[in-house]
Structure 1
């Protein structure tokens, strides 16, 4: 029997490795050539795989590391060496992956045993028992249930500190004299540099390779966790929704890629944060906000994805088809907020969650871009992106292509950006203007979005206040808004926004 580890299942103490001393890892180039992935994403995945190979060998495992164009080619070689082998694999979360891999194995005379994925705390059976037959999922209910079940930040049956949610305390903008906490940097070693060279030569990519500083090994990931808890967790809560020019990290954890590759486990990450609160090293507002991301949202979207695929990836409640503006690909725009966010992705393969939701997704939402193209852009551009991650986040939270787990679109005008960032003060566009040549594009697009989608959205929960403002606008105002929207779309199409 051989344990087959995929490239995002790299925890050296995973239960799938129990009772075996033989491991298979497959480096398939066809998978990486499907899209113009960010070079740092490909470099991260392949370098992490190669480092995991070496660490497993040092730990005494017999590791078969196959480099091939396709999984099928690599499995041909494996079964030629081990006829009739039984492979054991943690069930991958991406839709259809388990069935496709099983077909590849059985076609070559082997068998594939699937076991639970210990990169998550909530199993499929547990989620299905909680959700029942209801296909309208709500995160808050799930989050409270899982916190109780896992006994995280609990005082008996009540939430520690007396509140389940500290969002109201976590929407501050940093003062002008705020000293940003340090960000860890993991400089590539020889193996990682060799891998990055190979990625650059072998694949067509989008984004910059220089500046690569992501953890690629288990020890580096643990160092990253320790660094976050010590230096950035204390202020993470208050400033988690803030955006500052020239700053991509602020107080965010930067641990998502390590979690999604399996270099870190969710329980150890949550426990480290909770321990900081017990030691009075971080306030409960920060700790709860972080726990909500890992224990709550990450677990939740994994299962919503599982329960709603493939429809999730195929439908759009709002029927949009416009091409994503070229600024997403070249970052050429006078809109300072979008210039910052796209540049962060291009240079680092990363932008934090508010940039993802309220800039990159929000603009595509009110612009009317095809949400599935935006999902593709997120998938190839972010180092922490996998199909099970991007699809529910982009199509649900980001663009309201589905209402399976969101009760309203996260659409906003430039006012939100101005409130939560320093971008608008130095922007070419006037955030206080809705119409006219110099008006912030977010503003007219926002009102046009509400007007165009009134038939779908007016009766939607939590939209009443927005439409009360819509109802007060005059025909003259709407004419000016539509004129500005048409101009914004022309500029965006031509790459001149």
Structure 2
């Protein structure tokens, strides 16, 4: 049996491999000329695939590894040598990918059988049964989850998964008596605190070869190709898990929402890229974290917060994406149409928080979840950026980004393009940034001012956003307090706010913010 695995299905024990004697891997190149992916993202994917190839061969598999311009070109070559072959693959979480793969194979005289993707903790059937949606339509036909006004909530799903798996459960109750510890996970580190060292995986000969190829082939791509540090093998990924659990997990919870000038990683796990490549399964990162709590080596608030990210949110967005596509990708309930300002590409802005966050993405292809949601997405939301354009930027820029990852997070959560994931927009002024970071202390803009040339851009844009979208947002869940503040402002204040917001948009569009 020949198993065709994709570049995000690189687990050595993926179910189809258990009965395979031949494995097909395709490294296609032309797609990355159509989209200017971060060079570290391309290095990560191609290097991980080549290491996976070598590992399979060392384990005795017969591997056909084809480097080609397109998948179609590679399959043409494969079926010329193996006419009429039957292939087995795992389903892809990306919308439309499975139909596209079947078509490519069918057109070349082969057959493709797809089995469940076992690199997630929960299956399509699990989610559909929980959600009460029609399992006969698995989402691939484009039936939107909102057809009957349904909006799924992550907290309900998260509790369901914990009950079903027994993770952090004490019988029918959550360990510790609470389902989450968000209130304990909003601390900012004191000035004297230093984050633990970040693990660095030095490129070997294979990775250096990929770096050279990427540098030559994609020399005009956005992002810094140097300083590559991501795990590209199963062994490195497991080492990264051990490092997080033993070194970073204990303080992860307290500071998971914090931002600090000059620090890009804090105590975050940095495991999302390895998970999304398939080098790790969810239980392989969750179980060691739970074990650390049970042995007294990590506090419950840290462990629960991490577990929720993996078995709650990651699983949830994968399924909501599947059920809500293709409408989700184009959702834009607020009708926002502005283009991304140049600062998202060059990082050139006096706003310290944005300069730092964009700089992290440019340098490493990574920023942690609060930087993503409350700095990068929040500013674009207030500015009025088209959700699809912001989604494309995230897709290109992050080493852990795939369409199924970014679309729910960016279009749904960050841009509030739909209420399928959230009942309110994640919009915030400078108060939030100041409360969760030390950025404002080093910023020339005044965090406490709304209007005037020195006022923090977040403030005027925030109030202008609420006013512009009042018809949609007033009365939306948890927005009552914000609109009580809107109602206190008089006409003169609103004129000043609108003028300041207009001036800010002009300055940002001209690269002068």
Fold shared per TM-score above 0.5: yes
- 1:319: how far off? 0.5
Query: Is 1:79 the equivalent of 2:79?
Result: yes
> What is the CA deviation profile of residues 272-298 of structure 1, one whole-angstrom value per residue up to 9, with x for unaligned ones?
110010111100000000000000000
Counterpart for residue 131 of structure 1: 131
Counterpart for residue 460 of structure 1: 476
Counterpart for residue 246 of structure 1: 262
Q: Among residues 303, 320, 326, which one is paired with 1:310 in the alignment?
A: 326
Counterpart for residue 122 of structure 2: 122
Counterpart for residue 162 of structure 2: 147
- 1:30: how far off? 1.6
Q: With structure 2 as the length reference, what TM-score do the two structures score?
A: 0.96
Query: Is 1:387 the equivalent of 2:403?
Result: yes
- 1:149: how far off? 0.4
Q: Give yes or no for contact 2:331–2:411 (8 Å, CA) kept in 1.
A: no
Alignment of 1:50-199 (within 5 A): 50-133=50-133, 135-199=150-214
C-alpha distance in 2, partners of 1:250/1:173?
Answer: 11
The answer for unaligned runs of 5 or more in structure 2 is: 134-147
Counterpart for residue 136 of structure 2: none
C-alpha distance in 1, partners of 2:508/2:360?
Answer: 20
> What is the CA deviation profile of residues 181-240 of structure 1, one whole-angstrom value per residue up to 9, with x for unaligned ones?
111000101110110110010123110011100000000000000000011000000000
Q: Give yes or no for contact 2:75–2:105 (8 Å, CA) kept in 1.
A: yes
- 1:315: how far off? 2.1
- 1:179: how far off? 2.2
Counterpart for residue 9 of structure 1: 9
The alignment partner of 1:18 has SS state of helix
- 1:313: how far off? 0.6
The alignment partner of 2:30 has SS state of helix
> What is the CA deviation profile of residues 113-138 of structure 1, one whole-angstrom value per residue up to 9, with x for unaligned ones?
11111111110011000001373100
Q: Among residues 205, 216, 231, which one is paired with 1:215 in the alignment?
A: 231
Counterpart for residue 314 of structure 2: 298
C-alpha distance in 2, partners of 1:415/1:186?
Answer: 37
> How many residues matched?
497
The answer for unaligned runs of 5 or more in structure 1 is: none
The alignment partner of 1:33 has SS state of helix
- 1:494: how far off? 0.7
> What is the CA deviation profile of residues 238-293 of structure 1, one whole-angstrom value per residue up to 9, with x for unaligned ones?
00000001110000000000000001110111101100101111000000000000
C-alpha distance in 2, partners of 1:144/1:315?
Answer: 28
C-alpha distance in 1, partners of 2:314/2:293?
Answer: 21
C-alpha distance in 1, partners of 2:238/2:410?
Answer: 29
Counterpart for residue 36 of structure 1: 36
Q: Give yes or no for contact 2:121–2:282 (8 Å, CA) kept in 1.
A: yes
Q: Among residues 419, 438, 457, which one is paired with 1:441 in the alignment?
A: 457
C-alpha distance in 2, partners of 1:445/1:412?
Answer: 10
- 1:314: how far off? 1.3
Alignment of 1:341-420 (within 5 A): 341-420=357-436
Counterpart for residue 328 of structure 1: 344
Runs of 4+ with deviation above 6 angstroms: none
- 1:16: how far off? 1.6
Q: With structure 1 as the length reference, what TM-score do the two structures score?
A: 0.99
Query: Is 1:235 the equivalent of 2:257?
Result: no
Counterpart for residue 426 of structure 1: 442
C-alpha distance in 1, partners of 2:73/2:227?
Answer: 34
The alignment partner of 1:295 has SS state of helix
C-alpha distance in 1, partners of 2:307/2:299?
Answer: 12
